[in-house]
Every structure is written in structure tokens, then in C-alpha cells.
Amino acid sequence: MKHFFALISFFFIIQTSSAQLFKKEKVTLDANQGRGSTDNKLLRWGYFLGISNYDFNFDYNDDLRDIYVKRSPGFNVGLIGNLRINSFIDLRLEPGLLITTRELHYSQTYFNGVADVKSSDLIREVKSTYIHIPLLIKISTKRINNFKPFVVGGFSTALNLSSNENNPEDNSNGQFRTTKNSLFYELGFGIDFYLHNFKFTPSIRGLFGINDELVRDKDPNSPWTSNIASMKSRGLFINFTFQ
């Protein structure tokens, strides 16, 4: 429902402002118009909301059937701090809150030789609530009338508030554990739309984990963790930014 609302909001804004975006007259935001210039200030602020889709990328020790990851759409919201370097390059800090859930589905082959395997043993739910802090470089093209495309990339760190890294119980008690801190690199693109009172920016960005996020079970032969060489998050964001 949250991602549906975000998409409806996006299309509503585009519909109501299309006359401003594509007319030949260039929208200018000077001191007497709207909130003031959004391009020439050294520091600019804003906020974003959007939807996300998180997955896990696995590397395995042995050639068993891949663990299937069932993904659920997540929600993200946060603030933006933008430092202008020049007309085409900006440095951005985008701290935000991201909420997502993933389900891991194991093949029965992982439990060969294990007695009394229940259907619940084949599924593990991984809930994540991230405080996500990316530092990004935004590289824009020259403005075309009332819109300006750009690419963005950089690195980020995240603190998982739902992590159970220090939980003494593991998968033998139904607890799939992940690390509290994660590192990522990010790449994406978007378009700045210039409206009379603010600048609206839809963007798409991919996120790719750098560090292994799996906390292994105490049993070195655990069917849930022994075959996983590394487990790294990856995700796709669709964000709507207002400045």
C-alpha cells in the first residue's frame, strides 16, 4: 500500500506540473519566486520518500541448489544535504530510514541426513530496519528547459536496528542472525524537474553489499549456514526527492 501511494503521488505531481516542465519558458527560482534558488546555493536541503526492493546475493561452498529469496517491497524516507561543487557536480549526504523483509527458502537437499525436518525449518524470515547513510557524487548534464538528467554514485553504511547479531540463540532455535553494520556501493540515475516552488526529482538507484552479513551458527555443520561462503545485500530504490 505504501509503494502504491508513492507511485500515485509521483504521477499526480507529474500530471499537475507538466505545463511547467515542458513549456519553452524556463522556470527560474530567484529570491522573489518560490523558495529561492535551488541550483546556485552552496548548501541545499530537502527530503525524500520512496520504495525499495532488497535481495541477498549468495556465494556457496558446495554446489547445492540456490537458496531462494522471497522479497517484499520496502519503504524508505529521509533527508538530503547537498553541497554544490560546480554547475555539474554535487556532493550529497542522504541519511534515511529503510524498512524491508526477506524470506529465505531452503531446498530439502540442505537437510540430507538431518532427522525430523519440519516445513518451518526450510524457511527463515529476515526483517531489517536500516539507518542508511550514503555519501554520493551527483554528476548532471546541462539543464534542458525545465529538466536536467544526472547519474549518481558513491558509498554507504547502514546500521540494522533489527539485527540479532548478539543473540545467543541461532537457527537451531529458529533465529537467523545477521550483522549489525553493513557497507555498500551505490549507482543510479534520475531527472531533476524544475517547478515554480520546488525541484522534484524521481531517481532509480542500485545498492550492492561489500561485506558478508551472515552470522554463522555455532554448529559448523549447520544446514542453514555451513554452505554459505558469503551473504551480501543488494537492493533497488525508487526515490522521490523534494528540494
The answer to whether residue 16 sits within a structural domain is no
The answer to whether residue 212 sits within a structural domain is yes
pLDDT in tens, 33-47: 444 456 788 999 999
Lowest mean pLDDT among 17-21, 156-160, 161-165, 193-197: 17-21
Considering its fold, how many domains does the chain have in total? 1
**Mean pLDDT calculated for residue range 67-96:** 95
**Mean pLDDT calculated for residue range 218-229:** 94
The answer to whether residue 138 sits within a structural domain is yes
pLDDT of residue 86: 92
- This prediction has a pTM of 0.82
The answer to whether residue 13 sits within a structural domain is no
The answer to whether residue 223 sits within a structural domain is yes
d(CA 167, CA 163): 9
pLDDT in tens, 134-144: 999 999 999 88
The answer to whether residue 200 sits within a structural domain is yes
The answer to whether residue 26 sits within a structural domain is no
The answer to whether residue 219 sits within a structural domain is yes
CATH number for 141: 2.40.160.20
Domain that holds residue 106: 2-6+34-242
Output the nine-digit C-alpha cell for 133.
547513510
